[in-house]
Amino acid sequence: MELNEVFEKVKGLFVEDLGIDESKVTMEAKLEEDLEIDSLGIVEVVMAFEDEFEIEIDDDELADVSTVGQAVNLLHSKI
Amino acid sequence: MSKRRVVVTGLGTINPLGNNVSDTWNNLINGVSGVDYINSFDTDELPVKFAGEVKNFDANEYLGKQQARKLDRSGHLSIHATEEALKDAGLDTEERLGSEVGIVFGTGIGGIGATEQAVRTYDERGASRINPLAITQLMPNSSTGQVAIKFGIEGPSLTITTACAASANAIGEAKNMIQNGIVDMVIAGGTESGTTAMTIGAFAQIRALSTNNENPKEACRPFDKNRDGFVMGEGSTVLVMESEESAKKRGANIYGYISGYGATTDAHHITAPAEGGKGAVEAMKKALADAEISNEEVDYINAHGTSTPANDKNETAAIKTVFGDMAHQLNISSTKSMTGHLLGGGGAFESLVSLLSLKNNIIPPTINLNNPDEDCDLNYTPNVALKKDLSIAMSNSFGFGGHNGVLVFKKD
């Protein structure tokens, strides 16, 4: 899967499942500050990623993920 | 030293009769039933197919999807009712209310809808798929916390879970907080949203619910000989309570006074009331004493009046014990006949009814009361509202667990 395809799927999850405004979801957007996803929300996001991409994400893989772009890169590397 | 007087300066509600105070009151005095067939989920497997549900309320539209999905429906209803009450009290909902304002909410079963959903997910997909928000949605204090966050309420907070007496106890405890000078203002009320499949099924199992599936609007018939159980309802009601000095200082509109509170426990049986309503009798007496009035001064009782055979009979007996010869002169009504049983939200809703009755000099009726019962022979204001000059009202709330909470309201 191409990087931009992963981004589009991630964007779809944020908008459809989490109710986040589409215009806010960019590669640069910060999960906490820009998208208002708190620590509980991160768990939800990870579950949504796991379901959508049929992968498993360990907690320590998330340590360096704070933007949409970093999440997209992590997912891209695991698919 | 005389006690500080406690007033109510704001009301808000969302319930089966309306999504605001004005619509609710109009339906109450016109004897409208808010009970109907359930269409929010499949009732094929349930012996009871109707309830008093909140209608025409879209939480996504109200809070935005990103916020709405973090809360159970009970949280949505709580925030909606609180916002109306705060605005009604002339408070700025964009400003944080701060540390001099407290919050006391009652609920019977908290976010039970979220509990049911989480169990379903666990069974179907395993532990790793449980909604990470489940705990924060299902805990009984969820509404209290979410309302506090939304409006910046930083003073003391309590969540009271005494089943169907919960929000009467909440208002009573809030009254004590203000009277004792702990804070000048408390946002008090209660919420229930248990019109869900498992919960209705479970209440039906203990034969507590009416099974009148043919005529849902006539199912709740408090004090009627043919009553066959209560009807589940959902909703949230919130009162802005404050000290009289605080209200007068800021020039707030005063609905009335919360003057008396009596609380007791049957310590008898987990669901059945004590014979003759012994615990209820003591709670009513304590509320009268707290209000420093005699029983002759009460004009109106908003009864607990659930429409179960046991409650209505024992509540009637209890009223007779407390009021003696004048019991037959009292105007009584059960507005549950129209809303269904709001469980933990009932005491707050019926406090709102009592205050509006005093203010408007109108007693809402007990609807569906057509067949007299020899065990229920008082004046329950059958079917048609009554205009009458009123000064003092009492509201009874009794809960599973044997919890009794009685409040007394004065017009001035």
The ranges assigned to domains in chain A are 3-78
Cβ–Cβ of A18/B69 closer than 8 Å? yes
B304 catalytic? Reply is yes
Q: Residue B70: inside a domain, yes or no? A: yes
Cβ contacts (< 8 Å) between B136 and chain A: which residues?
40
Q: Are the beta carbons of B197 and B116 closer than 8 angstroms?
A: yes
Contacts of B143 (CB under 8 A, 6+ apart): B74, B75, B78, B105, B107, B110, B159, B191, B236
Residue B227 lies in a domain: yes
Which residues, in sequence order, are CB contacts of B87 under 8 Å at separation 6+? B10, B12, B93
The span from the CA of B105 to the CA of B98, in Å, is 17
Name the CATH superfamily, with its identifier, for domain A3-78.
ACP-like (1.10.1200.10)
B133 → chain A, closest CA residue: A40
pLDDT tens for each residue of B161-204: 999 999 999 999 999 999 999 999 999 999 999 999 999 999 99
- Tokens encoding B2: 């005389």
**Residue B4 gets which letter from DSSP?**
P
d(CA B335, CA B304): 9
**Statement: residue A17 has pLDDT above 90:** no
CATH number for B214: 3.40.47.10
Segment B105-155, tens digit of pLDDT: 999 999 999 999 999 999 999 999 999 999 999 999 999 999 999 999 999
ipTM confidence score: 0.85
User: Both tokens of residue B232?
Assistant: 């589940």
A36 to chain B, any CB pair closer than 8 A? The answer is yes
pLDDT above 70 coverage of chain B, percent:
100
> Which residue out of B65, B76, B133, B146 would a mutagenesis test of the A interface target, given it has the greatest number of A Cβ atoms within 10 Å?
B65
Q: Catalytic one among A17, A21, A34, A38?
A: A38
Catalytic residue among B76, B80, B304, B403: B304
* For residue B38, pLDDT beyond 90: yes
What is the mean predicted confidence (pLDDT) over B383-394? 98
Q: Percentage of chain B surpassing pLDDT 90?
A: 99
Give the per-residue pLDDT at B220: 98
Beta strands in B113-224 (DSSP E): 157-160, 185-192
Q: How confident is the model over B56-115, as pLDDT tens digits?
A: 999 999 999 999 999 999 999 999 999 999 999 999 999 999 999 999 999 999 999 999
Q: Please say if the pLDDT value at position A39 is more than 90.
A: no
pLDDT at B173: 98
Average pLDDT, chain A: 93
Residue B406 lies in a domain: yes
B4/B230 Cα distance (integer angstroms): 38
Over range B214-225, report the average pLDDT. 98
Q: For residue B364, what are the domain limits?
A: 7-412
Cβ of A43 within 8 Å of Cβ of B132? The answer is yes
Find which of A15, A25, A44 to mutate to test the B interface (most B CBs within 10 Å of its CB): A44
If we measure between CA atoms, which residue out of B248, B294, B352 comes closest to residue B25? Answer: B352
Q: Which amino acid makes up residue B208?
A: A
For the question of residue B341 being annotated catalytic, the response is yes
Gap from A47 CA to chain B (nearest CA, Å): 7
Residue A63 is given by DSSP the state: T
Chain-chain contact of A36 with B64 (C-beta, under 8 angstroms): no
Split at pLDDT 50, 70, 90, the class of B1 is low
User: How many domains does chain B contain in total?
Assistant: 1
Instruction: Tell me whether residue B135 is in a domain.
Output: yes
Domain annotation covers residue B2: no
Mutation test of the interface with chain A: which of B61, B66, B131, choosing the one with the most A Cβ atoms within 10 A?
B66
- Residue pair B301/B320 in contact by the 8 Å Cβ criterion: no
Three-class secondary structure of residue B50 per DSSP: strand
Give tens-digit pLDDT for B254-280: 999 999 999 999 999 999 999 899 999
> Using one digit for the tens of pLDDT, what is the confidence trace for B295-321?
999 999 999 999 999 999 999 999 999
Residues of B at the A interface, defined by Cβ within 8 angstroms:
60, 64-70, 128-129, 131-133, 136
d(CA B306, CA B322): 20
Do residues B331 and B386 touch, judged by C-beta distance below 8 A?
yes
For the question of residue A38 being annotated catalytic, the response is: yes
For the segment A6-35, the average pLDDT, to the nearest whole number, is: 94
Of these residues, B76, B80, B164, B376, which one is catalytic?
B164
pLDDT(A40) > 60:
yes
Chain B contact for A18 (CB, 8 A cutoff): yes
Average pLDDT, chain B: 97
Contacts of A18 in chain B (CB under 8 A): 65-66, 69
Give the contacts of B220 (CB within 8 A, at least 6 positions apart): B33, B35, B210, B230, B231, B307, B336, B337, B338, B340, B341, B368
Q: What is the pLDDT of residues B331-356, one digit of tens each?
A: 999 999 999 999 999 999 999 999 99
Residue in chain A lying closest to B137 (CA): A40
Whether residue B401 is predicted with pLDDT greater than 90 in this model: the reply is yes
Residue A54 tokens, joined:
């049929």
Region of B223 please: left (phi>0), alpha (psi -120 to 50) or beta.
left
Would residue B108 count as lying in a domain? yes
